[in-house]
């Protein structure tokens, strides 16, 4: 349907968050330091957020959008309230990693082979092996399906053994991606429904599956493929298979 709905000018937004606080429906979130409209059906089109924006980044537009869904808003607000009272380890948040030059990853003197104890105590450690983790939490069963960091993102869905088997996993696969992990054997659950919710709530641009060569890891790939069918989304999908000795088997 064509209806009035807010639009956010990212070039003007400074990420102050006043619009998100003003929105009674929780339709606005923050991602990468910018305000975003989480879902069309959360926005009632009344514009309580407009006068609170100090940069004038929010305005109304008339466009094709899902109808305002009051019941969906109530559920969304209830989920957000429950999350506020959850333990710190499951609270959704973005992680702003420092920017490193590519040459700083492994060319410094302290990247020479040494014991783990010596390496972790090295003052240059943070520059040698930078983390590429962009958000928290990372476990599939803990991450909120409507977390704002999923919006318009490239998502890596990885078996949790991958980062241990493949030494450069952060730089080669996690960098510039939102990463969620799981083990279909140890968790003994089907991730299909949760992944389908993540796909349905968010405008995800691309998916990468990183899995081990072991048979049980095929369950992760099956879950992603089932989620794509359940959500009825056609999203570019890449599958990376890693051997137990750390080699990429399908490149």
pTM over 0.75: no
pLDDT confidence of residue 110: 34
Give the alpha-carbon dihedral of 137, 92, 145, 177, to 10 degrees: -60
Which residues lie across from 240 on neighbouring strands? Answer: 210
Residue 114 has pLDDT above 50, yes or no: no
Give the mean pLDDT of 171-194: 91
CA 228/CA 33 separation, integer angstroms: 29
pLDDT 10s digits, 138-153: 999 888 888 889 989 9
Calculate the alpha carbon distances from 126 to 103, 120, 123, 190, 195 in Å: 14, 9, 8, 36, 32
pLDDT class of 98 with cuts at 50, 70, 90: low
Query: What mean pLDDT value characterizes the chain?
Result: 83
Which whole number is the average pLDDT over 102-129?
A: 44
List the structure tokens of 93.
Answer: 């948040």
What pLDDT does 48 receive?
Answer: 85
Check: CB of residue 49 under 8 Å from CB of residue 5.
Answer: no
What are the two backbone dihedrals, phi and then psi, of residue 16, each rounded to the nearest 5 degrees?
-65, -25
At residue 113, the pLDDT reads: 36
Residue 80 is predicted with a pLDDT of 74
CA distance 181 to 161: 9
State residue 130's pLDDT score: 83
Q: What are residue 36's DSSP bridge partners?
A: 29
- Which residue in the block uniquely carries the two structure tokens 């996690």? 174
Interval 199-209 mean pLDDT: 93
Q: Is the pLDDT of residue 175 over 90?
A: yes
Indicate if the pLDDT at residue 178 is higher than 70: yes
Cβ(165)–Cβ(246) under 8 Å?
yes
Angle made by CA atoms 62, 80, 199, in degrees to the nearest 5: 60
């Amino acid at each position: 349907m064509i209806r009035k709905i807010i639009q956010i000018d990212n070039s003007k937004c400074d990420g102050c968050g006043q619009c998100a606080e003003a929105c009674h429906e929780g339709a606005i979130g923050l991602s990468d330091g910018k305000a975003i409209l989480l879902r069309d059906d959360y926005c009632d089109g009344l514009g309580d957020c407009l006068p609170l924006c100090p940069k004038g980044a929010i305005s109304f537009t008339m466009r094709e959008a899902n109808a305002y869904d009051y019941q969906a808003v109530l559920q969304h607000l209830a989920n957000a309230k429950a999350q506020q009272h959850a333990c710190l380890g499951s609270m959704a948040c973005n992680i702003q990693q420092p920017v490193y030059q590519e040459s700083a990853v492994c060319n410094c003197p302290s990247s020479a082979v040494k014991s783990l104890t010596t390496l972790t105590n090295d003052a240059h450690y943070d520059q040698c092996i930078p983390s590429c983790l962009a958000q928290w939490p990372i476990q599939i069963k803990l991450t909120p399906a409507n977390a704002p960091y999923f919006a318009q993102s490239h998502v890596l869905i990885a078996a949790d053994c991958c980062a241990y088997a493949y030494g450069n996993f952060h730089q080669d696969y996690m960098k510039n991606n939102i990463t969620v992990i799981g083990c279909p054997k140890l968790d003994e659950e089907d991730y299909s429904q949760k992944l389908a919710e993540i796909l349905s709530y968010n405008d995800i641009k691309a998916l990468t599956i990183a899995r081990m060569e072991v048979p049980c890891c095929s369950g992760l790939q099956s879950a992603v493929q089932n989620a794509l069918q359940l959500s009825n989304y056609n999203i570019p999908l890449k599958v990376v298979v890693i051997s137990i000795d750390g080699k990429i088997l399908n490149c």
